[in-house]
């Protein structure tokens, strides 16, 4: 037996950290923040232990808590005080995300990214303007081109409020191009777009819909979010967003789609982001509560695997806990 090659030589305590191929840092992480215009106090999210909806008045304090752990960036999601069939509160000047953004950017050094979508703002919970027969006999459920105009309005309203980056998440064809054009026309040429370029219709989103009050009132989102079976389609989707001017490319969810993260990393030189979603967070918490897993260890290992697959940025509900460990 040829024992010339012994990989274990590089696993001793002294050399092991020197040859580590992947590093995870607090600066790689983005922490989601849920701002709720319907409450005056923090409201725990039952399906996401450790997370809360916070009122606008608490948004700055919540972000300061995150910053203390070393995490520098936050993603804002809003729960509006009222909803309608077009989600008009999403682009209101005094909307929940707009007001929270103004306060956070004025009082902290956090890098503020805002979610650009309509599901939290529409009374039907879908990500755009509905087809006439969407509830009974949908073809594509959401009217694509009419929705683009609304997404552009949302992005401009967030940029005017001071958002550092906007992140369209609805998987509407042409959304990046429409938003880029609207931002540039309004003078926000410096505001980058982090596109949810490959967002799958996943069963891992359940707890988020509780957190953001954005579950569909009927049907599902199969007509605009991607089929989990399709990898080649993901590459086409990402290519289109690159052509339209996306600055950062997001894959969502993360753990069941590490192959897609790696594929995007291999084929593009853009920064790659991955969303470690609510279901991935909740299932580890549930297992840890049963005593089956050590939460701190599996959380760190999960995020390390996402980074190893090629993500530069990770949006995760574990951001604060893992940053504390780091």
Distance CA 10, CA 19 (A): 7
Q: What is the DSSP string of 68-107?
A: TTT--EEEEEEE-S--BTT-GGGG-TT-HHHHHHHHHHHH
Question: How many C-beta atoms lie closer than 10 Å to residue 239's C-beta?
Answer: 14
| φ and ψ of 33, to 5 deg | -135, 125
291 Cβ neighbours under 8 A, 6+ residues apart: none
Distance CA 326, CA 322 (A): 6
Alpha helices of the chain — where are they, by DSSP H? 59-67, 96-107, 144-161, 175-185, 206-212, 232-244, 258-267, 278-289, 295-309, 319-325
Which of 83, 199, 290, 307 does the annotation list as catalytic?
199
Distance CA 132, CA 37 (A): 30
Residue 199 annotated to the active site: yes
Which of 83, 252, 290, 307 does the annotation list as catalytic?
252
Give the 3-state secondary structure percentages of the chain, helix then strand then coil, rounded to 5: 45, 15, 40
Distance CA 114, CA 226 (A): 22
The set of catalytic residues is 199, 252
């Amino acid at each position: 037996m040829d024992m010339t090659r012994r990989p274990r030589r590089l696993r001793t305590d002294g050399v092991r950290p020197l040859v580590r191929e992947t590093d995870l840092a607090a600066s790689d992480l983005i922490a989601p923040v849920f701002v709720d215009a319907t409450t005056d106090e923090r409201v725990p999210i039952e399906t996401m232990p450790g997370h809360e909806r916070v009122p606008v008045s608490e948004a700055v304090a919540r972000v300061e808590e995150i910053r203390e752990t070393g995490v520098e960036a936050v993603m804002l999601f809003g729960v509006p005080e009222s909803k309608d069939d077009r989600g008009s509160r999403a682009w209101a000047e005094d909307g929940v995300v707009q007001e929270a953004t103004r306060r956070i950017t004025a009082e902290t050094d956090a890098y503020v990214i805002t979610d650009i979508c309509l599901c939290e703002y529409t009374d039907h919970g879908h990500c755009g303007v509905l087809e006439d027969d969407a509830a009974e006999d949908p073809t594509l459920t959401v009217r694509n081109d009419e929705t683009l105009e609304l997404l552009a309005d949302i992005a401009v309203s967030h940029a005017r409020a001071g958002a550092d980056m906007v992140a369209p998440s609805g998987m509407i064809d042409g959304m990046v191009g429409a938003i880029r054009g609207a931002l540039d026309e309004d003078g926000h040429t410096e505001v980058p777009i982090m596109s949810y370029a490959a967002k799958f219709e996943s069963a891992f989103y359940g707890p988020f819909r509780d957190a953001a009050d954005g579950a569909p009132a009927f049907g599902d989102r199969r007509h605009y979010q991607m089929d989990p079976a399709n990898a080649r389609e993901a590459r086409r989707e990402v290519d289109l967003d690159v052509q339209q001017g996306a600055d950062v490319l997001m894959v969502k969810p993360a753990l069941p789609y590490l192959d897609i993260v790696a594929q995007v990393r291999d084929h593009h030189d853009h920064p790659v982001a991955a969303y470690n979603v609510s279901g991935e967070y909740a299932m580890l918490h549930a297992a840890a509560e049963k005593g089956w897993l050590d939460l701190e260890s599996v959380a760190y290992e999960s995020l390390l695997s996402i980074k190893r697959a090629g993500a530069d940025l990770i949006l995760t509900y574990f951001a604060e806990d893992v940053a504390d460990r780091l």
